[in-house]
Structure 1
């Protein structure tokens, strides 16, 4: 589990001295399709791990140990903004992050890469430091040395990509060479008892490379020495994916002037002055200079790289290649350029993914699959995303689904992730219609900031609450907006939940991280954990909406270190469940008491406009199919409690699968 949802998110650390080698790289904007299968496999595994976490909480009423640690929801989003807040130059990749990080480190002679990915041992780049071995107190860690690895295996650095592909990686499935590895192991004469089977397999394959394959290097092609079969192109692609700009592989043979251009990534054949062989070299097809992170959106190593001219004659389906000269969804090149630049500078979230590929993803969240009374965050915020799609793609006009559907790879209970959900844009209710992105992003006219805010509120369908929300001081405007939306959408939230959300946000102000870390909880409630997840995912949704609308609010206003701490929320949740007064919830702080009632009044009044009264669980109607009366029923049935009138699909009416989600009307019950 993690601090932002159960323990303390804490405050932003002190600002370090900026240094050139301290740049950070974020993740790619969308996963290459060749790696989607592995992504799905890991997400389904995550779901099983999350189920064990909730089982432990319900059985023991305590936080699980480190062996059940789970990556925080929204970590990738909030980390980039935390680093930017600390003065660090932060870059987000346009393709697979591993490649761009390795490339950046190689080209800029960086101090090193701090991470947890064995691919950084395979890339011939700057030193690789283990983040799992990092001591935050002393800043000591372990350097994983690829030179010593190569030496211990009897290989050269240039052999490591070949070894990685024969063992299996994200490009080449592990099972592809299972029989080959078995043959290597059976003929390996130096099996070590100190190594497990996996270790001996690695040693055996490395031994085969150094003693067998190398004998014919430069004379035979890889497919003549290895059982590649119909997977020849995929294997070449895997090996070539480790070549950074300007690097060459001695394992590729090619005629001197052959050039293979795939997805505008050029593998040019040049002579190696040492080996006198013709070897492929990866370079920028236009400038042939170094490629900074995120500067060439079409230079994509994930899209079918192969250094054999025979390969390009193969059937792309059988080759496993992605012949994707990317066709962007948005036709305005200037707007797309702005979105791309904002993405690279880590100033937005998902916006460029929607506009460039029409595909987005969201990983697993700490959600209890057995709790039928609380919806998955994927469903709760889908109407918001649909309105954002309408804004970015220009669809959904006139209440119809005219815009292109966006492919959503969102993880939630019951979704096998065999295909993406196809989600169509949803029209916003704005007087005068939806403004253009040129207006929202580029205009400097007076009043444009007000129009940006109007658009943001329309994405949440909260235009009627503009006056109330504007009266709230920063940073609580964003929190109130999110709480109003949550309580209108989720009819099983009660007054005690609202008290806990508001109290923790107020008490978080000025509270040191040490105090947050030392908080002691009576017990752990699984429902509070999932409520924390809903709120945190709501904050990431705010990042998406704010960026799409031209940033009417400061991004800092909805960063968790300003608004939400999971452990503090858990404390306030347990206190609120016991019926503690507002004075006790805000720790007897008089100014907090006044703010508490002000914020509560704003949320309740806005919800009242939507015919959604917020009542105490003590006054919950017996027939209400909520937390206290709906256990065991289907989460995809028809709502019998409060729900939202207007556009969109209620979370109980949404289900797993790949069906299209249209902006249909649904009724209030």
Structure 2
């Protein structure tokens, strides 16, 4: 995350870049400087999850009530000193950063393997040095913050760009996070979450101006430095030989052989002494060994330019042209952040320098496919598909009908490729009004994955605490896949027997044995809902009372539990959501592993699946029903699981509490009745057969997998049909 080596360099070589500050004092100064404006901190929430999770137990699925309480204390501390917080979450992974995402997920897999090795060796939770955030923490944190009344937003691209853009355009007090990219963006001040003392409200501010003084650079040089060092866009190895040459020359002159810190000093010295010398006379590609990576390098530099900014290192286009990324950001700002329901309680300050100036930042010879928006007077002809893409979900004030064009220097095949990509995106959803609603819910963090499915047909799920060596329990990726497939059917339409025109969703799900070289290609699975599957217009936009019943019917149909509607209706909230999930798991699983750690993570992933289904069905149940602090505690679950393994009676497990026992018996009756209807008998551990030793649903290292549909007649093992066609049923028979 961020610029390679920069965090360590600042701490060891330039400690004066870090200054201890106090948020209480900063807010008072901000109020006196901008009367009538609320001091606001924009928070990169993904960087803060480790800081926020303070409960003792994390290995068993999370102590969610304690976590919610910690979040409440965090928010209240800032509220007490008059500081407003705006939280941003990653909404999707950009295509250019997928490789970096995969690299981190595989690294996490290795960490998880070490965690399970420790558990087996020591039979205890590892120390905080091996801490791994509980599954679903980011998803449920969004809803927790909204419950606490906080403005919570989900990005339409990499969150760091939107955080930096929001902070600059709203003249925020600063950015709170842990990402050295915030030292590179020319935006408001950057504060470290890891150094924050909540009691005193002291933290460390990392000053980009002081960093520039130490390096002999200007703030506008920092994006260039970041790309030469390597970041999430430009691979570290791309300029390895260049950095070595800079280092060799620098050390020969300075006599400094501290390679780690000297690399940054050496590259900075080259920028200030050599590149500045010829700036304006030579193009950057004439001064740097860009080679075939020119387009990627320029993309990396341009990725740090916020709306209205330009770079002296990039060739400037005529006024009236902005990058696609900036157009997206501006579109988000206008149509979503200024929505009447999301306006700040106090007027925000606006930096006069942050007004949008229309500039384009790219190399004229670059083959990168970039869509442009131009002045309304432009005579350029534009394909209607491209116009439509920019108009979908756009605010009318943005004039979506304004002409756009591809760079004149781009070749004809580049234009065709861009059009083809746009057409492919448009085929996922044909109704722009529905897509606009999905987008609104996405940005305001009110749904989960729905907009990603509908806009790009691509979703991802990060690591889960699953033991790669214990193959008794299928991965959560396969257990809940049939549910996701029915959601795809609801959002995109049914599959038609594997036809080439069928919608396909690319799933980047982490599970043991998956090298993540390619996504799993998963097709929709038809569902059977009473009266037929209603349209999204009915589920999302119809306000009639009857529509609420259709929403509930559709939700249950996604879990193939329509026959259990009557029993579930008798269960109070939030336990009906719990019952829904338990019934699904009992109907699906032939055997349950005695690994409470993995079962806890499996259950939490089930709750996130419920959030997805509820979002797709138009919210028949309130989201609070799926929040783990209302239905689950990992430490308590683990304790009761171990007691159950020792043969404790139900009365002992429920601590002789008659009220709890009555509720348990009622819930058990609902679950058992539903399972009995599906010909599934819930048995105790003594009845489990010993031959279930393989991980059902393992797809091995298949490089490209397509999931076909299947009938419910084999409902006990639905994930056995999830592999590619080369892995037919015989492949699973050995398990």
Interval of TM-score (by shorter of Structure 1 and Structure 2):
0.7 to 0.9
Q: Distance in 1 between matches of 2:636 and 2:725?
A: 39
Indicate yes or no: 2:293 matched with 1:231.
yes
Aligned residue number for residue 64 of structure 2: 9
Deviation at 1:588, TM superposition (A): 2.8
Which residue is equivalent to 2:88?
25
CA distance in 1, matches of 2:603, 2:143: 18
Q: 1:208 and 1:230 mapped to 2: Cα distance? A: 22
Query: After superposition, where does 1:14-413 map in structure 2 within 5 Å?
Result: 14=72, 16=76, 17=79, 21-28=84-91, 30-189=92-251, 196-254=258-316, 259=321, 265=327, 285=373, 312-313=410-411, 327-328=425-426, 329-396=428-495, 403-413=502-512
Number of residue pairs the alignment of both structures matches: 598
User: Hey, what's the Cα distance between the residues in 1 that align with 2:421 and 2:460?
Assistant: 21
CA distance in 1, matches of 2:638, 2:257: 45
Q: Deviations over 1:228-274 (max 9, x none)?
A: 1111111111101000001111112346569576578499xxxxx9x
Matched, 1:606 2:674: yes
TM superposition shift of 1:205? 0.6
Q: Are 1:420 and 2:519 matched, yes or no?
A: yes
| Alpha-carbon spacing, 1:323–1:134, altered in 2? closer, same or farther (3 Å) | farther
- Residue 470 and residue 123 in structure 1: after superposition, are their counterparts in 2 closer, same or farther (change >3 A)? same
Higher helix share: 2
Q: Does 1:653 align with 2:708?
A: no
Structure 1 runs (4+) deviating above 4 angstroms are: 190-196, 255-267, 278-288, 294-297, 308-311, 313-317, 319-326, 397-402, 632-637, 658-663
Residues 426 and 648 in structure 1, CA contact (< 8 A), matched pair in contact too = no
Deviations 1:332-357 (A, max 9, x none): 01111111111111110000011111
Deviations 1:158-199 (A, max 9, x none): 111000000111111111100000000000048989985322
TM-score where L is the length of structure 2 = 0.74
The answer to whether 1:587 aligns with 2:655 is yes
Tell me the distance in 1 between the aligned counterparts of 2:499 and 2:311: 53
Displacement, 1:287?
A: 9.6
Q: Are 1:576 and 2:644 counterparts? A: yes
CA distance in 2, matches of 1:602, 1:562: 19
| Alpha-carbon separation, structure 2, partners of 1:322 and 1:145 | 44
Q: Give the conservation status (yes or no) of the 8 Å contact 1:6–1:532.
A: yes
**Contact residue 119 and residue 126 of structure 2 kept, 8 A:** yes
Report SS of the residue matched to 2:472: coil
CA contact (8 A) 1:353 1:360 kept: yes
Structure 1 Cα separation of the partners of residues 539 and 667 of structure 2: 29
- What is the CA distance between 1:202 and its match in structure 2? 1.0
CA contact (8 A) 2:167 2:187 kept: yes
Q: 1:466 aligns with which of 562, 565, 570?
A: 565
1:396 Cα deviation after fit: 3.5
Q: Which residue of 1 aligns with 2:29?
A: none
Structure 1: distance between partners of 2:220 and 2:538? 51
Bigger RCO (CA 8 Å, 6+ sep): 1
Contact 2:479 2:719 in 1 (8 A): no
Q: In 2, Cα distance between the equivalents of 1:536 and 1:155? A: 48
2:111 & 2:632 partners in 1: Cα distance? 25
Pair 1:429 & 2:484 matched:
no
Greater Cα shift, 109-118 or 4-13: 4-13
- Asked if 2 retains the 8 angstrom alpha-carbon contact of 1:115 and 1:128, the reply is yes
Q: 1:191 to 1:127 in 2, by over 3 A?
A: farther
Matched, 1:617 2:716: no
Match of 1:560 among 618, 628, 632: 628
Distance of 2:642 and 2:164 partners within structure 1: 46
Q: 1:260 to 1:334 in 2, by over 3 A?
A: closer
CA-to-aligned-CA distance 1:105-143 (integer Å, 9 cap, x gap): 111111222212221111111122222223344443222
User: 1:365–1:245: structure 2 CA closer, same or farther, 3 Å change rule?
Assistant: same
Any idea what SS the aligned residue of 1:129 has?
Answer: strand
Range 647-656 or range 571-580, more displaced: 647-656
Q: Tell me how far 1:51 sits from its aligned partner.
A: 0.7
Change (3 A) 1:590 1:413: same
Q: Give how far 1:286 is off.
A: 7.2
- Going from structure 1 to structure 2, the CA distance change for 1:546 and 1:266 (only over 3 Å counts) comes to closer
- The answer (yes or no) to whether the contact 1:421–1:659 under 8 Å persists in 2 is no
Is 1:548 the equivalent of 2:616? yes
Indicate if the aligned counterparts of 1:249 and 1:280 stay in contact, CA closer than 8 A.
no
Distance 1:567 1:483, change over 3 A: same
Q: Give the distance between the partners of 1:344 and 1:483, measured in 2 at CA.
A: 31
Q: Is the 8 A contact 1:223 1:232 kept in 2?
A: yes
SS at match of 2:191: strand
Are the counterparts in 2 of residues 27 and 76 from structure 1 also a CA contact under 8 Å? no
Task: Check 1:488–1:400 CA distance in 2 against 1; reply closer, same or farther (3 A cut).
Answer: farther
Tell me the equivalent position of 2:665: 597
- What's the CA shift string for 1:259-313, capped at 9, x where partnerless? 576578499xxxxx9xxxx98569994799xxxxx9969xxxxxxxxxx979745
Shift of 1:48: 1.1
Structure 1 pair 418/281, CA: closer, same or farther in 2 (3 Å)? closer
**Contact 1:161-1:239 at 8 Å conserved across structures:** yes
Is 1:453 aligned with 2:552?
yes
For 2:383, the equivalent position in structure 1 comes to none
TM alignment of 1:478-557, pairs within 5 A? 478-493=577-592, 527-557=595-625
Q: Name 1:303's counterpart in structure 2.
A: none
Q: Which runs of 5 or more structure 2 residues have no equivalent in the other structure? A: 1-49, 51-56, 330-352, 363-370, 377-391, 396-405, 700-709
Residues 636 and 151 of structure 1: CA distance in aligned 2, closer, same or farther (over 3 Å): closer
Report which stretch shifted further, 604-613 or 257-266.
257-266
Paired residues of 2:596 and 2:638 also in contact (CA < 8 A): yes
Q: 1:352 to 1:249 in 2, by over 3 A?
A: same
Aligned counterparts of 1:468 and 1:400: Cα–Cα separation in 2 = 38
Q: Specify whether residues 284 and 82 from structure 1 end up closer, same or farther in structure 2 by C-alpha distance, changes over 3 A only.
A: farther
